[in-house]
Amino acid sequence: RASLRDVHVSLALMEQFLAMAAANTARGVETCGILAASLSANDSVFTISTLIIPKQTGTSDTVEMYSEEDVLTVHLERELYPLGWIHTHPTQTCFLSSVDVHTQCSYQTMLDEAVAIVMAPTDSSKRLGIFRLTTPGGLTLVQNCERRGFHTHPDTHTGQEVYELCGHVYLNDRVQHDVIDLR
Distance of CA 89 to CAs 62, 76, 96, Å? Answer: 9, 29, 10
pTM of the model: 0.94
Task: Return the closest-CA partner of residue 39 out of 105, 104, 114.
Answer: 114
CA distances from 102 to 85, 92, 97, 105, 177 (A): 12, 18, 9, 5, 27
Q: Which of 128, 90, 110 is nearest to 9 (CA)?
A: 128
Q: List residues bridging with 170 in a β-sheet.
A: 8
pLDDT of residue 2: 52
Q: Which of 92, 87, 91 is nearest to 131 (CA)?
A: 87
Q: Please give the Cα distance from 10 to 175 (Å, whole number).
A: 6
pLDDT in tens, 33-88: 999 999 999 999 999 999 999 999 998 989 989 988 999 999 999 999 999 999 99
Question: Per-residue confidence at 108, pLDDT binned at 50, 70, 90?
Answer: very high
CA 157, CA 159: separation in Å to the nearest integer?
A: 6
Q: What is the C-alpha radius of gyration for the chain, rounded to an integer number of angstroms?
A: 16
141-147 long-range CB contacts below 8 Å, 24 or more apart?
142/101, 142/102, 142/104, 142/105, 143/105, 143/109, 145/102, 147/98
Q: For the chain, give the percent of residues with pLDDT over 90.
A: 82
Q: What is the mean pLDDT of residues 131-136?
A: 96
Query: At 132, phi and psi to the nearest 5?
Result: -150, 160
- Helix residue ranges per DSSP H, 21-125: 22-26, 68-78, 98-110
